[in-house]
Amino acid sequence: TWTTGSVIDEQVALIREQVGDRRAICGLSGGVDSAVAAALVQRAIGSQLTCVYVDHGLMRKGETEQVEKDFVAATGVQLKVVDAEERFLTALKGVSDPEEKRKIIGREFIRVFEQAQAEIIADEGPAVEFLVQGTLYPDVVESGGGTGTANIKSHHNVGGLPEDLEFQLVEPLRKLFKDEVRMVGQELGLPEEIVQRQPFPGPGLGIRIVGEVTKERLDLLREADAIAREELTAAGLDREIWQCPVVLLADVRSVGVQGDGRTYGHPIVLRPVSSEDAMTADWSRLPYEVLARISTRITNEVTDVNRVVLDVTSKPPGTIEWE
């Protein structure tokens, strides 16, 4: 019978057998899959694993700290964090086109990751021959079931990998579905915020600012997003909602009034959706009181935002993200 305990024991044994006394690298994205894969491999081979986290500056409030502090505390994993915010912001300067943003973020990510990888390989120690990936069963099916090579969906995995991959892959989640991965993560003692995390795009908040991405806009959006997430969690709605992008319309301004003054600020869009697999989605019928609280808090607490609007479009025709 299937138990998380037996899955963990079986995978730990297999990973030990595969890796032996060599070393492995794993890229952490902040998401569930890479976190659980890394935790499993860490349990199997300990310090023979090094994780890499590229901080591109496009994460939501508190997420980088979650990886750097909570994940490390829970697993004891050896982690290399690369602070690349400047680099990403410089590369994104003046860019408004969504696909252009994705390309730039993907390209910079690979460069930074490869650099970190080269540094790890250059360290003293046994050969680094393995790359850990959080491939799930649905990914395996979708990609035709092959193994041993890097088979990455370019669009949906900006946390992606170098093309000229010479590593052997370690994929301990290949037989699991998402909910099983969450159970394994929980059993491994990972923080709740990581285990229950909703889908979040690799390019992060970079594709939730309609317009150019700047530090100021990111900070503003991070605040609005944190408020929305806080209120949705407080209302107990996390399990009902597939995800809720919070989008800043940076190139739009509208007139408002605050105190006895006129304001001319930006709108924030709430995009709560329900979905099974993100291929199709419906807009979530959130309780009005929750929407009201989010709206009041965002307009009061986030400077330069004077309007909150709700996206009531299903997918299709709308996508889940605005970019």
Is residue 274 part of an annotated ligand binding site?
no
Is residue 9 part of an annotated ligand binding site?
no
Question: Of the two residues 69 and 155, which places its CB atom closer to ligand XMP in the complex?
Answer: 155
Separation between Cα atoms, residue 33 and residue 218, nearest integer Å: 25
In the chain, where do the E strands start and end? 23-28, 49-55, 78-83, 128-132, 168-170, 209-210, 246-249, 254-258, 261-270, 273-274, 282-283, 305-310
What is the nearest approach in angstroms of ligand XMP to the Cβ of residue 172? Answer: 21
Q: Which of 184, 182, 170 is nearest to 45 (CA)?
A: 170
What is the nearest approach in angstroms of ligand XMP to the Cβ of residue 206? Answer: 9
Question: Of the two residues 30 and 172, which places its CB atom closer to ligand XMP in the complex?
Answer: 30
What is the nearest approach in angstroms of ligand XMP to the Cβ of residue 272? Answer: 13
Question: Of the two residues 202 and 265, which places its CB atom closer to ligand XMP in the complex?
Answer: 202
Is residue 20 part of an annotated ligand binding site?
no
What is the nearest approach in angstroms of ligand XMP to the Cβ of residue 205? Answer: 11
Q: Which of 65, 74, 62, 68 is nearest to 230 (CA)?
A: 62
What is the nearest approach in angstroms of ligand XMP to the Cβ of residue 91? Answer: 16
What are the residues binding ligand XMP (CB under 6 A)? 102, 155-158, 199, 201-203, 243, 278, 315, 319-321
For residues 273-297, one letter each, b for 16 or more C-beta atoms within 10 angstroms of the residue's C-beta and e for the rest, the string is: bebeeeeebebbebeeebbebbbeb
Q: Which of 91, 53, 68 is nearest to 212 (CA)?
A: 91
Question: Of the two residues 156 and 215, which places its CB atom closer to ligand XMP in the complex?
Answer: 156
How far, CA to CA in Å, does 210 sit from each of 37, 91, 93, 302?
33, 17, 14, 17
How far, CA to CA in Å, does 237 sit from each of 52, 208, 232, 272, 287?
32, 22, 5, 10, 10
Separation between Cα atoms, residue 181 and residue 193, nearest integer Å: 14
Is residue 32 part of an annotated ligand binding site?
yes
Q: Which of 272, 263, 255 is nearest to 320 (CA)?
A: 272
Q: List residues bridging with 131 in a β-sheet.
A: 25, 169
Question: Of the two residues 198 and 214, which places its CB atom closer to ligand XMP in the complex?
Answer: 198
What is the nearest approach in angstroms of ligand XMP to the Cβ of residue 78? Answer: 25
Question: Of the two residues 187 and 212, which places its CB atom closer to ligand XMP in the complex?
Answer: 212
Is residue 6 part of an annotated ligand binding site?
no
CB 52 within 8 A of CB 80: yes
What is the nearest approach in angstroms of ligand XMP to the Cβ of residue 163? Answer: 17
Is residue 29 part of an annotated ligand binding site?
yes
Tokens of 183: 């159970």
Is residue 238 part of an annotated ligand binding site?
no
Question: Of the two residues 23 and 208, which places its CB atom closer to ligand XMP in the complex?
Answer: 208
Annotated binding site: 29-35
Q: Which residues are annotated as a binding site for ATP?
A: 29-35
